[in-house]
């Protein structure tokens, strides 16, 4: 028999997304870190369209979600589901393994040219706010979701912990991209464990060196462990977001972004790039 939370998982995900979005949106509205350079309505419509498109694409291709897959493997006795392990170790190991795979996936998307072409859609946003957290090309999401499902198939983590991880991931995606300002003490304290907006904004800089740093998604210590951590050297107010080959006007055009990974572009220096 399926547990109640599994039956209502769609509502839980939807409710968490709406609650987190409204909370961060109100926070951004009243205490923005930067003044947007592009009308927020245009970016939110575009990023919302990409969210719907990527969700539909992954649902059609994979036909099974991460929690449902974990539920079918719950009695397998794989490494993350060993019955003799205490529940807190199940939870801790599951969060660490799944988030490390996210870090690895992000590293690969910046290191492999084909994957970077897809990931450029995310980086082409020229203003950063909570909606940037759902701005991805469908091809990129197929790769990341594929790695996520393969990890679950290989380790069989407890379904309830997978559900908790994905709920945390939803909130973190919005929070780490949020156009908000934290106090210095709060930034330092939270930054010891999770990725903060201030740190992640560096990753969205136009500077290629910045883009290859701060790759962690949930837990910030992966960057320190693998030496991909980077401090802001230019001052937050002087950071420029986006990528060279996409203009501000193009960054809110759906067809431009969907074709971006497949068509050669010319950057500001006049060089062809893919």
What is the tens place of the pLDDT at every residue in 96-122? Answer: 999 999 999 999 999 999 999 999 999
Is 19 a member of any domain? no
Q: Tens digits of per-residue pLDDT, 115-141? A: 999 999 999 999 999 999 999 999 999
pLDDT at 1: 64
Residues 273, 258: Cα–Cα separation, whole Å? 16
Q: Tens digits of per-residue pLDDT, 149-167? A: 999 999 889 898 999 999 9
Is 138 a member of any domain? yes
Is 40 a member of any domain? no
Q: CA triplet 208, 209, 212: central angle to 5 degrees?
A: 85
Is 159 a member of any domain? yes
Do the Cβ atoms of 46 and 257 come closer than 8 Å? Answer: yes
Structural domain harbouring 141 = 63-263
Minimum mean pLDDT among 5-19, 55-69, 103-117, 231-245: which range?
Answer: 231-245
Is 5 a member of any domain? no
Is 53 a member of any domain? no
Is 17 a member of any domain? no
Is 162 a member of any domain? yes
> How many Cα neighbours within 13 Å face the side chain of 119?
19
User: Averaged over 190-200, what is the pLDDT?
Assistant: 94
Signed CA dihedral, 89, 95, 98, 103: sign only: negative
Q: Structural domain tally of the chain?
A: 1
């Amino acid at each position: 028999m399926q547990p109640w939370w599994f039956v209502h998982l769609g509502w839980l995900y939807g409710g968490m997304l709406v609650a987190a979005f409204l909370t961060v949106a109100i926070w951004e509205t009243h205490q923005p870190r930067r003044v947007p350079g592009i009308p927020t309505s245009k970016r939110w419509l575009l990023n919302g369209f990409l969210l719907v498109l990527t969700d539909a694409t992954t649902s059609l291709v994979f036909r099974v979600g991460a929690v449902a897959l974990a539920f079918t493997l719950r009695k397998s006795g794989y490494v993350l589901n060993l019955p003799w392990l205490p529940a807190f170790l199940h939870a801790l190991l599951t969060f660490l393994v799944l988030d490390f795979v996210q870090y690895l996936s992000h590293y690969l998307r910046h290191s492999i040219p084909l994957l970077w072409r897809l990931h450029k859609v995310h980086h082409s946003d020229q203003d950063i706010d909570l909606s940037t957290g759902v701005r991805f090309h469908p091809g990129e999401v197929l790769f990341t979701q594929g790695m996520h499902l393969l990890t679950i198939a290989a380790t069989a983590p407890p379904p309830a912990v997978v559900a908790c991880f994905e709920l945390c991931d939803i909130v973190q995606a919005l929070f780490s991209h949020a156009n908000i300002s934290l106090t210095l003490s709060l930034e330092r304290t939270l930054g010891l464990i999770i990725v903060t907006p201030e740190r992640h904004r560096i990753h969205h800089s136009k500077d290629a060196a910045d883009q290859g740093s701060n790759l962690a998604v949930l837990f910030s210590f992966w960057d320190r462990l693998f030496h991909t951590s980077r401090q802001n050297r230019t001052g937050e107010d002087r950071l420029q977001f986006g990528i060279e080959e996409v203009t501000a006007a193009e960054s809110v055009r759906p067809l431009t972004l969907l074709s971006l990974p497949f068509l050669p572009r010319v950057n500001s220096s006049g060089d062809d790039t893919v």
